[in-house]
Structure 1
Amino acid sequence: MQIKPSASIRQNYNEIAALCKSSGEPVYLTKNGEGDLVVMDIEAFDRREKMLKLWEELLAVEEDRLAGREGTTPEELDSYLDSIIDEVEHGKETSI
């Protein structure tokens, strides 16, 4: 985890951007010693968003399963998950 004062974004934008891109991790900016903002590379942000969407969908499927509602077959789920993982790893868009 990288932590920088918020003033560094104005003074060192290129350095902060390079740090985000090279690490793939967010940079936490503080103001008066307290957390203020989080800055991250757009590709890392997109990956996180896709993973969050996947977790939400998996949670919904698990809730349906626990409630006894019929859903997809294990084979359909496996194929779907493979396509999502491929999308996250390779940046490909798949139709859901």
Structure 2
Amino acid sequence: MPKIRSSADLRNNYNEISTFCHDYAEPVFITKNGKGDLAVMSIETYEALTARFDLYAKLQEGLDDVAAGRTRPLEEFMQELQNRRSLR
């Protein structure tokens, strides 16, 4: 269940909200005048979330390449990797 706090709570209970975000690795939703305004989370949670989005984007690129026929045989790719390793 999402944790929802008011902007006044954020101002008055910052340390408590910060501790929650670090302990549970999930965002706290902040309301302003009774409406959703912000999502607050730890830096670690934010970095994990953006890393996941980056991974999803790369996976989608690969799926798009396959759908467009931009592929090559595994043997050719493996040979290229071996050639790169031998150049080091």
With structure 1 as the length reference, what TM-score do the two structures score? Answer: 0.72
Q: Report the CA distance between 1:24 and its aligned residue.
A: 0.4
Aligned to 1:38: 39
For structure 2, the residue ranges without an aligned partner over 5 or more in a row are 78-88
Aligned to 2:84: none
Contact 1:61 1:71 in 2 (8 A): no
When residues 41 and 68 of structure 1 are mapped into structure 2, their CA distance, relative to the original with a 3 A threshold, is: same
Q: Between Structure 1 and Structure 2, how many residues are aligned?
A: 74
CA RMSD of aligned residues (A): 1.7
Aligned to 1:53: 54
Structure 1 outlier segments of 4+, above 4 Å: none
- Over the matched positions of the two proteins, sequence identity in percent amounts to 41
Q: Report the CA distance between 1:72 and its aligned residue.
A: 8.6
Q: Report the CA distance between 1:29 and its aligned residue.
A: 0.2
With structure 2 as the length reference, what TM-score do the two structures score? Answer: 0.78
Residue range with higher mean Cα deviation, 1-10 or 64-73: 64-73
1:64 paired with 2:85, answer no
The higher radius of gyration belongs to: 2
Aligned to 2:83: none
| AA at the equivalent of 2:50 | E
Contact 1:64 1:71 in 2 (8 A): no
